[in-house]
Structure 1
């Protein structure tokens, strides 16, 4: 029997209501819970995120090379340019300006509170035939 049924990533921020709206819009999701200091959402694909109030929150400093990334989110997308327009339209900002190395096309961003996340292109595969 599985003891843990589900998990969620919690981001600390000064304004959880405002940041949860950014991610609800980006993920096509809905708010699933809220209290004075915590807002939880579920994206259309089932991803669960929460945003905890920290009145002393400061934006992460990544991508400065002297600091580690610590943690960030990766969202899989089928249309990178459309996803980028959506992120920027919602108040996010690009952080990676160089061509990424590796087998995947990825682009880095920061949400309105400064948390880093990555959009990764998912190759569309044709259905098997025969």
Structure 2
């Protein structure tokens, strides 16, 4: 029997309820746990995320080097344009970045609290350069 049986991505933020709503809609997920300082969601394919209240949370500054990546999420999508429109409609924003080299398409985005993530059309992406 495995010692660790599950993993979960946890993002610190000032307003976990609002950030959980963003990702719940983006991933078509359901809330699985709610407490005063934490909201957890689970997507239909089993991906688990949690959002923990931290009144002093500072948004990452990617692509600037200081405080750049506290965590990074990749989401596989079938239609980059449609996924990016949904991100914007939910309060997120696209991040300006150079196109990744090679045949893989991906777009950088940020959630409403400033955490960066990537929308990609292929699970096996080329390694980031720089």
> Which TM-score bucket, shorter chain as reference?
0.7 to 0.9
Aligned equivalents of 2:63, 2:4: Cα separation in 1 = 33
Q: Shift in Å at residue 70 of structure 1?
A: 4.0
1:81 matched to 2:81: yes
Q: Shift in Å at residue 5 of structure 1?
A: 1.3
Please identify, of 72-81 and 96-105, the stretch whose mean Cα deviation from structure 2 is larger.
96-105
1:96 aligns with 96
Q: What SS does the aligned partner of 2:4 have?
A: coil
Count residues with an aligned counterpart: 123
Please identify, of 26-35 and 60-69, the stretch whose mean Cα deviation from structure 2 is larger.
60-69
1:73-108 alpha-carbon deviations (Å, 9 max, x no partner): 000011111111111110110113432223421100
TM-score by length of 1: 0.88
Q: What SS does the aligned partner of 1:119 have?
A: strand
Aligned equivalents of 1:112, 1:6: Cα separation in 2 = 27
Q: Shift in Å at residue 43 of structure 1?
A: 1.3
TM-score by length of 2: 0.88
2:10 aligns with 10
Taking the TM superposition and a 5 Å limit, the aligned residue runs for 1:52-91 are 52-91=52-91
Q: What SS does the aligned partner of 2:71 have?
A: coil
**Which runs of no fewer than 5 residues in structure 1 stay unpaired?**
124-130
CA RMSD of aligned residues (A): 1.5
Q: Shift in Å at residue 45 of structure 1?
A: 1.8
**Which runs of no fewer than 5 residues in structure 2 stay unpaired?**
124-130
1:23 aligns with 23
